Each structure stands twice: as C-alpha cells, then as structure tokens.
Structure 1
Amino acid sequence: MWPLWLLASLLALSQALPFEQRGFWDFTLDDGPFMMNDEEASGADTSGVLDPDSVTPTYSAMCPFGCHCHLRVVQCSDLGLSLSDGDRLDGSKFMLLVVVGPLGLKSVPKEISPDTTLLDLQNNDISELRKDDFKGLQHLYALVLVNNKISKIHEKAFSPLRKLQKLYISKNHLVEIPPNLPSSLVELRIHDNRIRKVPKGVFSGLRNMNCIEMGGNPLENSGFEPGAFDGLKLNYLRISEAKLTGIPKDLPETLNELHLDHNKIQAIELEDLLRYSKLYRLGLGHNQIRMIENGSLSFLPTLRELHLDNNKLARVPSGLPDLKLLQVVYLHSNNITKVGVNDFCPVGFGVKRAYYNGISLFNNPVPYWEVQPATFRCVTDRLAIQFGNYKK
C-alpha cells in the first residue's frame, strides 16, 4: 500500500499549476550562444523577413501533450522521466519517479500551432524528420533539434518552413548535410554529427546565410568538393575539432571570422589566406602548426585577432608589424625561444593604427628577462603582455 504522505505528494504534483514562461530564456537551447532576442521570439520584424502582422501575440489552444506553449514558443525539450531522491519514514532512501512527458519523444509532435515562431525539440529521441512533420508551420523562425538521434531527413521535410532563419541540428547522427535547406536560412549549426563530405551545390540558393557552425564532424580536406561554398556570403564559419590538415580551399571570400581550431593543420602556406582579405578574427589554436610562410599574413589587412596558441611554432610569425589593425595575438603554449625587438611593432612611430591590447607568450621556452622593453612599444599597457609560467 502506498504511504499516505507519498499519495499526498503525488496529488500535489497533479494539482500543480501549469508551467508559465515568464522570460523567453527559461530554457537553454544549445551549448553555444543563441542569437535570438526577445523581439525576435515574440514575432517582431527585426530582419525584414517576418510578416509585420505577426507582431500581435495570439494564444492558441493547440499545444502538444507534455510541451509548454506560450507566446508562439513551443517547448518540447527534455521529454522523459525525472528521478528524484526521497526519504521514507524509517529514514531509508527511495526514488520518486515523476513522469513529465512521453518516454523520450520519438518523432515531431502533432498539433503544433501554425503561428509558432520557435519550436524547441532538443534532448529527445527523434530519429527521423518526415515529409509532413513541419506542415503548416510557415511562420517558424527558429527550429532547435539539438541532441536527438536524427539520422534521416526527408528531402522535402523543410519545404513548408519558408521563413526559417535559424536551424540548430547539432549533436545528432547525420552523415550528410540536410538537402533542400530553406532559402531564408541565416544560421545553421550542425556540429557534432558524422558528416564527412560537403558536396558542391548543397548550399545553393542560400543567399541570406550568415553563420555556419560545422565543427565536431570527421571532415578531412578531401571532403570539401570544389565549389561547395559557391554563392554563400558568410560572415562566420567554424570547422573545429575535425580532421583538417590544412586550411580548406574555396571558402567564402566574405568571411569575417574563420575558426579552424583543434585540427591537425601543420603549416600555413602563402596561398592559403590569399582570398580572405576581410577576416578580422582567425582561429588556428590547438593545431600542429610548425611553419607560417613569409608573406602569408600580408593578405589579411583588416585582421584584429589572431589565435595561434597551442601549436609548435619556434618563433613569432613574420608580418605581424604590418598588420595595422591587429590588437590581439595568442601565441602561448608553443616552442618560441626568442622574441625580437621588431617582431610585433613596426619600425618608427605613427605607423600602426591600432595598438595591441593583448599579447600572450606564456608557456613558451623564451627567457622573458632578455626581451627588450622596446619590443612592446606599440602595446596599450604592460598588463596586456603575458609571459612566464613555462614548464618543461
């Protein structure tokens, strides 16, 4: 027989008030930053893509079982079992099992209101996206499918999503980039899958695309077909934690940020950075870079931040004094043994337009007491220089 106090507890749970979302971010979407603000969530037209008449909130009675629905946000994440500790009257422990939804959502739920702008389905057991899963959701702005078991996507699954701008489908079992992505897409996060190939034409028609995060996939340099990024005007691209041995060719020329950290890149050759003159942040940390060919950095006139930490460089890369806008250089955890007086700053004064506000050189076998003070004459403050802490 159930103890009376336990029945009372279960009764209290059954009579609890329904979830009420007071702030838009009552739930998390991913382990990376999510770019939607409160205006976007409520349907406000912040980019010219959403309809102006969608600003007025509506309250639909449609809400899938186990989900939380409020102000065009449908949250169906983490639908499963919840276990919590309890105490018996005799002092021993027991586990209280509370069912908070279906035992692992297996598919996209039905009865989703057609005016939904954000659909959160992360942390479930969805394995397939079918043809009509998103039928009628023509106002959907953001779709979150992070941390499921998706391995199959119908070629027309995303066809109804004519206004979709953010697709988060990281941490799944995908072996290829989904076909026929919505032309309205601005941001795609597809990291931590099993993708080995980026074929030509897979991004065709995505003229609004701004950001792609595709790290954590077993991508090699040979996996990028020529023309794979044709037509894209990307601002941000990250291919970290892959199997790259060099900087991929034919990436979009429009890139402002390129992150290739945690790969197996061994060298930067002269032509590797030739087409990326608009970069202001380049991330190459945690690779195996031993050599940076002279003149390679001269193709980056707008570079402001350079990450070369945790590599195998034996000296400070040449060409840094010529980068007039460079402000941050990470060179810690390399094999640098000497720092010259002109390695960072140009000869003379008034040449560099932006002074450094961060130079890291710690965890290198360089005798910092031998470095001349004039070496950092173009640094804003002595606290911006990090030395020492080298251990063999």
Structure 2
Amino acid sequence: MDDYIKKGTMDFRKANLALFAGAFSTFANLYMTQPVLPTLSKVFHISPTTASLSLSLTTASLAISMLIIGSLSEAWGRKSIMTFSMIAVAILTLLIAFAPNYHMLLILRIIQGIVFAGLPAIAMAYLGEEIDPASLGAAMGLYISGNSIGGLAGRIIMGTVSDFFNWRIGMMTIGIISLLVAIAFYFLLPSSKHFTPEKLAFKPLFKSLLMHLKDPALLSLFGMGFLLMGSFVTMYNYIGFQLLEPPYSLSQTIVGWIFLIYLVGTFSSAWMGGLADHHGRYKILLSGIGLMIGGALLSLVGILFIKILGIAIFTFGFFGGHAIASGWVGRRATHDKAQASSLYLFFYYVGSSIGGTTGGIFWSNFGWIGVISIILIFLLIAVILTSIIHKITSKNVLTQA
C-alpha cells in the first residue's frame, strides 16, 4: 500500500529516530544497576547474588507483563501506551535514586519492570504494521541499535558517575535524561495508519496466544530469543566480576567504560538486518550465532586485549542475531503481531533472568570457564533451532529464509 512508511522519507526518519530514542531510554534504565552490582552489595551489605536481583527481578516482571501489555495494545493503540511507559519509567528511576533501603529498591524495580513492557513489544508491532516490508529489516535493525546505545549509556553513566559521586546521583542523571527523551518521542513518532483496534476480550486474546505457540517456526524463534539473551546477559553479568579481580584488578570506572563494546552492536544490528533483507535471514542469523560462539571462546584467553576482542565479537553477533530473529517474528506472525512480539520478548527476558542466575552458579563453582560453558551450550541449541526454523519457513514463500 502507498501509505506505508518508506525508507528515505521524512516519516521514516522520524519514526526511526523516535523508536531509537525509546529503545535508548528503555535499555538505559533496564540495565542501569548492572555495572554497580558490587557497589550495591557494599552499600546495602548484601551478597552479590542478592545484588543481582535488582536486574533479574526487573527482567522477570518485564517478561510476564509483556504478554499482558502487548495484548492490551491491540485494543488501546500503540503510541499512547509507549509514551506513558517512557514517562513512568523515568519517574520511577528518579524514585529509585531515593530508595531508603534495598527492599524498597527491589519493589520499585519490579514495578519498573512492569512499566517497561509498554515499549519493546509494541514498538516491534508498530514497525511491522507501519513500515514498508522492503524496508523492515533496516528499520528493525535501527531500532535494535537503540537497545545497544541505551544499554551502553546506562552502564557508562552509572559506572562513571558512581565512581565520581555515588550511585544515587547516577540514577538521577539517567532519570532526567529519560524524561526529556520521552517528550521527544511523543512529538516525533508518526501516528499509526494501519492499526485497527480490537475489542478488549481476554478469551480471544488467550486463544490467539496459544495459536502463536502452536506454530513450530514461531516457537523456535521464541526459543532463539531465550537462548541469545540468556547467553548475552550471562556474559555481561560476570565479566565485570572477573575484571575487578586479579590479575586484572581494573577500577569500576574502567570496567564501566568497557561497555563501549556495545557500539559494535549498534552497527551490527542495522548492518546484519540489511544483509538479511538481501541474502536471507537463515544464513545471516547462523553467521551471528557463529560469531557469538567464536567470541565466547576467545574470551577464555588470559590476555586482556584478546579477551575484550572476544567480547566485542560476541556482542557484534548477538545484536545482529537478535535484530534478525525479532524481525522474523513480525514477518512470520499472520495475526496479532504485537502478541507474537510479546511472546518473543517474554522468552527473551526469561532467558535474561534464568541465564543470568544460572551463569552465577557456574561462575561461583567453575569460574570464567564455567560461564563460557553454559553460554556455549545455549548457543549450540540455538544453531539447532535455526536449522528447524529454516526447514519450516523455506516451504513458505511468505517467509523466505
């Protein structure tokens, strides 16, 4: 149809800038506690495992609420829910900065996890509905690149500001920036033209969720999200602990700036998304997983430079793979695309929670080689799922691999 948003138009630029900003805000706030886990452990006199709950509980509540919010957006619309989500997230971050104790911090982070759900799945559905299919891979890649920039900014701001001032000032800084970004988002994002509201009835919504789960290709893509994110969070949750210890003994600020590696994800998500449009999703997704495996193995080398290079290659592969898999969900789903996206992200964030926790057990018992072992297991299963998806979708001309 002629009214789809096409690459090269002003609406395309505005939509991508708005959703890039939305992804930036979401991921800056979501992962802001990750670089200061050791600080939270000292300040509140808690164990590293308990400190990690500030991230795990947030991603868990996000995963669960994603299913509900995605379904509500089918009736209430896309832009209004996304805007509310961004404003509420910013306000909650400012409240967390003043949390009097760790219990209150966790409660606010759980609420924040619920509110986070208002953007990711709906943003993917918006892109699937409004962007011209020929430009969808590039648009999804640009949106995913906002994830990497946001994750990078949140970690660097928290790591650096915490070192110079304290973690509370760091959170206040992120909260104020997020509030400004939310206002820009509202004015930039074009209104939906292809969204048709449905009557809010939970029985049909539940029925359609089950229909998505009965599609083996979609189910495999959901599993892909679980495995890719589980691997990624495991890597980044525990690399900081290793680099703070001998023989590296790096400072908190330097460890925080190592997250500059995220910049390779900004490039790879857009670049590999574009490659997938031209060369097929199967080959490029498999290449992304291969890069993750190679990078994980390189990180076992004791030399710091090679270890960081391995993490960079791993990150490059992850963001590219995630951009392709998430975009593939939107193309595969034939109905209720926001629900399909919600299910993908449900598995994605459950992977974050389970992978991060499981990685901690392996870290405590086997060190860094244990962390890499669980990551490699996840990624080898991901290779199998990629082959299954390819076999199914290659029979369907609407979802060419």
- The TM-score normalised by the length of structure 1 is 0.20
Structure with the bigger percentage of helix: 2
Please give the TM-score of this superposition, normalised by the length of structure 2.
0.19
Task: Give the structure with the higher percent strand.
Answer: 1
